[in-house]
Amino acid sequence: MAQYQRTVLSNQLSTPHSVSIKVLRLSRPALATQTPLPKTSFDNGLDISPSASLAHPAANDDSSFPLAPLLTLPSAFGAAYVGETFACTLCANNELTSDSTKSVSGVRITAELQTPSNQSGIALELSDYDSESASTGLQPGATLQRTVRQPLKEEGTHVLSITVTYTETTLDEQGGASGGRARTFRKLYQFIAQNLVAVRSKVTSSPQRSKESPRSWSLEAQLENVGEASVVIEKVWLREDEGLEVRAVGAEQGIVLKPMDVEQVMFIVREGEIGENGKRTLAQLNIEWRSAMGERGSLTTGWLNSKG
């Protein structure tokens, strides 16, 4: 995770902290890729078998399939997408040694997320929280872990703010407490959430047979994969406004979208009874998908309206 600023708050800024914090993003593994070496014919003992470059060599040396049946974890932060759940593990580590004249207790971790629409930040719920951690000590070299899971709902810069508070106790020669103080520090981590599925919609009014007949509209939507990997669109549906009926036309399920692929879906929206002419609130478009490794995502548009 890209760390862009660190702020230390303590009663003695020159004294190193006894506790450090690490933030690890939780990501699903992906299939390992392999690129075979080209065949050579030097005939002087310098030839290297193409299988030497394969992550999972097969019996057939001529195999050039790019994927191996091995899983690999991402080596970098990767992309964060709107509609998916951002997850990370917060690790507070006791950096003291067993022969230290200090001890650490009451370690507590809190987290906030600043979003483009909420710069003040929203408090995040930490799982695996143990209320006893506020009073029990963290042994030298031990780690306190908490997990954060937060859906990303808007595009733009996000800042994850982690605050660690703990009590640092000074020990005398007999191992008893001779003094103590409460300490705290904070770290900020910045990342950008970007769209994975871009939506372009169009509402067209259908001609009325007569002034007494209910109105109807065709709602078209183009779904484009603007991410870096393929996704499977599992479900596309409308949440219609009160008094309307919806029929899907060409809204197939299980659509595979490779990067830059576009799929078009269409719905017919009808009034259940004769309504007043003018602008009409119709529906919200809902899209549900899975990434290449099964990560769920979803997106809901704003309310789509007919023209007046």
Summarised one tens digit per residue, pLDDT across range 162-213 is 999 999 888 877 767 777 889 999 999 999 999 999 999 999 988 887 777 8
Q: How many residues does the chain have?
A: 308
Q: What are the angstrom distances between the C-alpha of 26 and each of 1, 73, 93, 120, 287?
A: 11, 10, 18, 25, 24
112 and 147: one domain?
Answer: yes
301 CB contacts (<8 Å, ≥6 apart)?
199, 201, 284, 285, 286
Supply 67's token pair. Answer: 């994927």
Say what the pLDDT of residue 136 is: 59
Quote the tokens at residue 291: 């990434």
Task: Output the domain CATH number for residue 301.
Answer: 2.60.40.1230
Angle of CA points 88, 92, 95, to nearest 5°: 145
In tens, the pLDDT along 65-111 reads: 677 777 877 777 778 899 999 999 999 999 988 888 888 888 999 99
Q: What is the pLDDT of residue 274?
A: 67
Q: Return the closest-CA partner of residue 226 out of 200, 206, 244, 203.
A: 200
Domain-terminating residue out of 194, 218, 240 = 194
State which residues form the domain around 119.
3-28+75-194
Higher pLDDT, 209 or 157: 157
**pLDDT exceeds cutoff 60 at 265:** yes
The residue with greater pLDDT, 107 or 273, is 107
Cα gap 155→195, rounded to integer Å:
6
Within a domain: residue 20?
yes
Judgement on whether residues 98 and 128 belong to the same structural domain of the protein = yes
Whether residue 97 lies inside any domain: the answer is yes
Same domain (yes/no): 233, 89 = no
Q: What percent of the chain is modeled with pLDDT above 70?
A: 86
126 and 17 in a common domain = yes
Domain shared by 138 and 205, yes or no = no
Domain of residue 118, CATH code: 2.60.40.10
Residue 121 resides in a domain: yes
Percent of the chain at pLDDT exceeding 90: 46
User: What is residue 275's predicted lDDT score, i.e. its pLDDT?
Assistant: 65
pLDDT band of residue 5 (cuts 50, 70, 90) is very low
pLDDT value of residue 273: 72
On whether residue 212 sits in a domain, the answer given is: yes
Sign of CA dihedral 251, 252, 254, 255: negative
Q: Which of 194, 225, 251 is the last residue of a domain?
A: 194
Number of domains in the chain: 2
Q: How far apart are the first and last CA of the chain?
A: 48
The 8 Å CB, 24+ separation contacts for 3-7 are 3/187, 3/188, 3/189, 3/190, 4/188, 4/189, 4/190, 5/187, 5/188, 5/190, 6/186, 6/187, 6/188, 7/185, 7/186, 7/187, 7/188
| 178 and 105 housed in the same domain | yes
Residues 289 and 254: beta-carbon distance below 8 Å: no
The mean of the pLDDT values for the chain is 83
The answer to whether residues 174 and 296 belong to one domain is: no
| 228: confidence class by pLDDT, cuts 50, 70, 90 | confident
What is the residue type of 269? V
Contact between residue 57 and residue 69 where contact means Cβ atoms under 8 Å apart: no
Residue 40 covered by a domain? no
Is residue 53 included in any domain, yes or no?
no
Q: Where among 194, 213, 235 does a domain terminate?
A: 194
Q: Are residues 11 and 22 in the same domain?
A: yes
Look at residue 194 in the predicted model and tell me its pLDDT: 92
Q: How confident is the model at residue 48 (pLDDT cuts 50, 70, 90)?
A: confident
Q: Over 90: is that where the pLDDT of 32 sits?
A: no
Report whether pLDDT(6) > 50. no
Say what the pTM is.
Answer: 0.75
Q: What are the φ and ψ backbone dihedral angles of 131, each rounded to 5 degrees?
A: -60, -25
CB 298 within 8 A of CB 282: no
Pull the structure tokens for residue 9: 């708050």
pLDDT at 129: 56
Contact 32, 169 (CB under 8 A): no
Q: Does 100 lie in the same domain as 156?
A: yes
Let me know whether 20 and 106 are in one domain. yes
Same domain (yes/no): 265, 285: yes
* Residue position matching structure tokens 């191992």: 175
Say if 235 falls within a structural domain.
yes
What gap in Å lies between CA 102 and CA 180, rounded to an integer? 9
222 and 277 fall within a common domain: yes
Q: What is the pLDDT of residues 112-143, one digit of tens each?
A: 999 999 988 899 999 865 555 445 578 888 89
Span 268-286, average pLDDT: 84
3-class SS of residue 120: strand
